[in-house]
């Protein structure tokens, strides 16, 4: 029901409010080297201010276990050829939520920036695969910090050379855990997995996305309080 609601919103909004450029970019599974601004594992990425030990503590608190890693891996096979369809739903949700589409606004035109949306979409597609395939090592940790910075005044807009609002407000980062994982669930069920397995994949996704948004929050948090 949620999905069809979003799809409807997507159809309405994509055709009216938001430039159509990102509606179907055909971006799924393009080679990582061709994704502009995708710097996972590259030298330009700073070392994260939190450690692998901090990560282990956080995983423990989130009840994030090896079983979750297993079910995330399972989800990769299922999602690999569906990333564009997933992104249509996610972008539809953003487009239909003024509080969120605001963050893609071009400050000159006051309208959503189609090129910006399209550029982010390519990395977002890769993020689905990366979340399913994450190995939680130092490079992964460093890239979480980089993603966090790109939502704040420190780095937002720079990767894509756009003139948009200066930051995504903190509160929407952890909040997006819910729409992202709720709308993902029907896609997890589309390839014949058992109901129990879909539930486990979904639960693993909820934990992983919440874990990531917590790590992304670091630059928003006052010194010494993270």
Give the footprint of its own copies on this chain (CB under 8 A): 2, 54, 57-58, 60-64, 97, 99-100, 152-153, 167, 169-172, 174-179, 182, 206-207, 210-211, 213-214, 217, 220-222, 225-226
* Closest CB 100 distance from its own copies, rounded Å: 7
Q: d(Cα 31, Cα 126) in Å, to the nearest integer?
A: 9
Q: Give, in degrees to the nearest 5, the angle at Cα 12 between 11 and 15.
A: 80
Q: Report the residue number, 54 or 197, with the smaller CB distance to its own copies.
A: 54
Indicate the SS3 state at residue 106.
strand
Instruction: With H, G, I as helix, E, B as strand and everything else as coil, classify residue 145.
Output: helix
**CB nearer to its own copies: pick between 24 and 97:** 97
- 164 DSSP 8-state letter: B
For its own copies, the closer of residues 84 and 199 by Cβ is: 199
User: Whose Cβ is closer to its own copies: residue 19's or residue 148's?
Assistant: 148
Closest CB 155 distance from its own copies, rounded Å: 13
Q: What gap in Å lies between CA 189 and CA 79, rounded to an integer?
A: 10
DSSP string, 166-217: S---TTHHHHTHHHHHHHHHHHHTTT---HHHHHHHHHHHHHHHHHHHHHHT
Tell me which residue has tokens 């400050």.
Answer: 107
CB of residue 38 vs its own copies: minimum separation in angstroms?
25
- Residue (27 or 75) nearer to its own copies, CB: 75
Contact 27, 96 (CB under 8 A): no
Query: CB of 74: closest distance to its own copies in angstroms?
Result: 19
Q: CB 33 → its own copies: shortest distance, Å?
A: 33
């Amino acid at each position: 029901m949620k999905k069809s609601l979003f799809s409807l919103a997507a159809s309405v909004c994509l055709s009216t409010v938001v430039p159509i450029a990102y509606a179907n970019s055909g971006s799924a599974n393009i080679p990582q080297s061709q994704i502009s601004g995708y710097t996972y594992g590259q030298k330009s990425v700073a070392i994260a201010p939190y450690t692998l030990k901090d990560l282990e503590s956080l995983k423990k608190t989130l009840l994030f276990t090896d079983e979750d890693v297993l079910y995330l891996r399972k989800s990769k096979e299922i999602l690999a050829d569906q990333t564009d369809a997933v992104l249509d739903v996610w972008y539809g949700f953003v487009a239909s939520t003024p509080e969120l589409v605001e963050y893609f606004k071009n400050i000159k035109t006051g309208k959503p920036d189609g090129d910006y949306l399209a550029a982010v979409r390519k990395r977002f597609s890769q993020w689905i695969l990366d979340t399913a395939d994450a190995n939680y090592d130092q490079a992964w940790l460093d890239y979480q910090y980089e993603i966090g910075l790109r939502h704040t005044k420190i780095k937002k807009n720079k990767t894509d050379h756009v003139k948009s609002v200066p930051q995504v407000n903190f509160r929407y980062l952890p909040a997006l855990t819910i729409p992202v994982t709720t709308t993902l669930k029907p896609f997890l069920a589309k390839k014949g997995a058992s109901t129990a397995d879909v539930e486990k994949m979904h639960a693993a996704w909820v934990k992983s996305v919440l874990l990531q948004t917590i790590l992304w929050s670091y630059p928003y948090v006052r010194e010494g309080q993270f």
